[in-house]
Structure 1
């Protein structure tokens, strides 16, 4: 069904600000530069408290234990390209948000080589032009969902809708401009403060959540790509507890641009809006079949619900504690996800055939 009032409005592109930031930093280097400069390494995990996990990996010790950064969204090179490869590699992309002490560092995306488990964090930034001068600030969103489709990375921003970056616009902070990690963030005289991050990915455009009528606009808590639809479809949903809404929506994408398809009125309208379940953390659609992840806290394994909205079967203890966003890999028939809690933090896959 098509729900009332669920709309998206595309914002203005930040092309001029991105160009100005590129002029300062020496131009974009793209994702290829990041993949040639992976500086951390995860490891395989064999003992994971879940019934349906097919393969599981974890981060290096600092990322596995930190309470400053929390992994949330997940996408992959199988979303980005129908071949399943980007730059000849099988890649996972994971979004994190910063928590505590005002969360000044915002959000980041991690690109993981699934064959070597080497990875690197890239900080998400919002560039601006102020009186003709470029400045920037961290992107402060929950980043609960992620879709990598073509050259675009779509980042969930809850009540704000979602934000879109271009992976080709990744920029590197040159050594002669980089400031120490404790330096104030932003452009300050001859230095660029980036919390010590070498690579930055600027936000190009926002897709704002609006509502033409009651109920209020959709909260974009998580995102996924349905490549089993033709053309592919963007799947969005709401995390909700108590009296909060828990809707699931599907939006059309233009396969030529990898962006939402805008109507004649300048808005993006959903193909359908359905009712989900309380506590959803992620959702995927595979050949019309829905998979929803639901957490039961930091110590108890999570559940995956399978079926169609209104007729879902709960697979208890299918996922590790704290399961988040979901992403489907068609060639292996696997769902990828991440778990968020420190010391119980994995990126892992689930075989769909084991979920029913």
Structure 2
């Protein structure tokens, strides 16, 4: 499958055995330069698509670039789009953020920029760049003019009075998506907070907070809400992640494990799946857990 500019979609391996597991078939399965973080579901040119965010770090563990891998769920293929900022002189520079969570609303992609609020990118105006600028935006130090990259440019920075470690979608009882998100804080102790916010509509609007709570869970990595049911992911180093489920004031540990090194969460109401992903090299997986396993379809 070709992008209109001629960029090739790269294959992934899919295995369905209780869960739907997608695995990367390139060096991104084991690299220690790039790490996957956020996840959300949307429609890309009429096709159901997962968006998975990645950040790149250097040897000093400083962020140098970020990107989104768009995964065609029907064909198990992915396409990379670099995230960039446009300077006053029009020059594009890499978006040097952790990209810990995603919320995808049509052509608007919101990315959690840990400690720097929520960054918004425009998916309707992707740019094609080549040569050294393509390599720089893609986080590569290689040389040559043949490199090509697709780029989504930041349109706005939304200040939020939280650390903004991750970002998740909100649905009503009937499964209809709301123009709301959950924004949460990763902390090693149990003081991390989760806030629910209305997504800004017009250019002068801000993220409006409508709820704020502290679940009392350490190492929270993602959160979503379906009606009154909240789901929160918790990482546990090199062990399987933990899923917390229930009302926001009485979350309980679910028996279903999340991937090792689990990160963000995304609800797929059409396929009846809860998506998460693992970040650790050699154990990286994008996993869809059927609602039936979680007791949602009982």
Instruction: Give yes or no for TM over 0.5.
Output: yes
Which residue does the alignment assign to 1:223? Answer: 167
Cα deviation, residue 179, structure 1: 2.8
1:115 aligns with 2:74: yes
Q: 4+ residue runs of structure 1 moved beyond 6 angstroms? A: 192-195
Cα deviation, residue 116, structure 1: 1.1
2:189–2:219 Cα contact (<8 Å) kept? no
* Counterpart-to-counterpart distance in 1, 2:288 and 2:65: 27
Cα deviation, residue 72, structure 1: 0.2
Q: Deviations over 1:57-116 (max 9, x none)?
A: 101131111111000000111xxxxxxx43121111000011232446311111111111
* Counterpart-to-counterpart distance in 1, 2:203 and 2:164: 14
Cα deviation, residue 231, structure 1: 3.8
The SS at the match of 2:91 is: strand
The one of 97, 109, 131 equivalent to 1:153 is 109
* Counterpart-to-counterpart distance in 2, 1:109 and 1:157: 14
Q: Which has the larger radius of gyration?
A: 1
1:282 aligns with 2:232: no
Which residue does the alignment assign to 2:180? Answer: 233
Larger relative strand fraction: 2
1:124–1:200 Cα contact (<8 Å) kept? yes
1:124 aligns with 2:83: yes
* Counterpart-to-counterpart distance in 2, 1:273 and 1:348: 28
Cα deviation, residue 195, structure 1: 11
Q: Deviations over 1:160-197 (max 9, x none)?
A: 111001101210015xxx23877x669xxxxx999945
Instruction: Note the residue ranges of structure 2 that are not aligned, 5 or more in a row.
Output: none
Q: Aligned ranges for residues 185-204 of structure 1 at < 5 Å?
A: 196-204=147-155
* Counterpart-to-counterpart distance in 1, 2:134 and 2:199: 39
* Counterpart-to-counterpart distance in 1, 2:28 and 2:81: 14
RMSD value, Cα: 2.8
* Counterpart-to-counterpart distance in 2, 1:280 and 1:197: 36
Q: Aligned ranges for residues 32-47 of structure 1 at < 5 Å?
A: 33=4, 37-45=7-15
Which residue does the alignment assign to 2:276? Answer: 337
Cα deviation, residue 242, structure 1: 2.6
Cα deviation, residue 260, structure 1: 9.1
Higher relative contact order (CA 8 A, sep 6+): 1
Which residue does the alignment assign to 1:242? Answer: 189
Q: Aligned ranges for residues 13-52 of structure 1 at < 5 Å?
A: 33=4, 37-45=7-15
1:180–1:195 Cα contact (<8 Å) kept? no
* Counterpart-to-counterpart distance in 2, 1:252 and 1:104: 29
Cα deviation, residue 46, structure 1: 5.6
Cα deviation, residue 283, structure 1: 0.5
Which residue does the alignment assign to 2:58? Answer: 100
* Counterpart-to-counterpart distance in 1, 2:203 and 2:214: 22
* Counterpart-to-counterpart distance in 1, 2:134 and 2:153: 19
1:306 aligns with 2:245: yes
- With normalisation by structure 1, the TM-score equals 0.73
Q: Deviations over 1:146-167 (max 9, x none)?
A: 1111110000011111100110
Larger relative helix fraction: 1
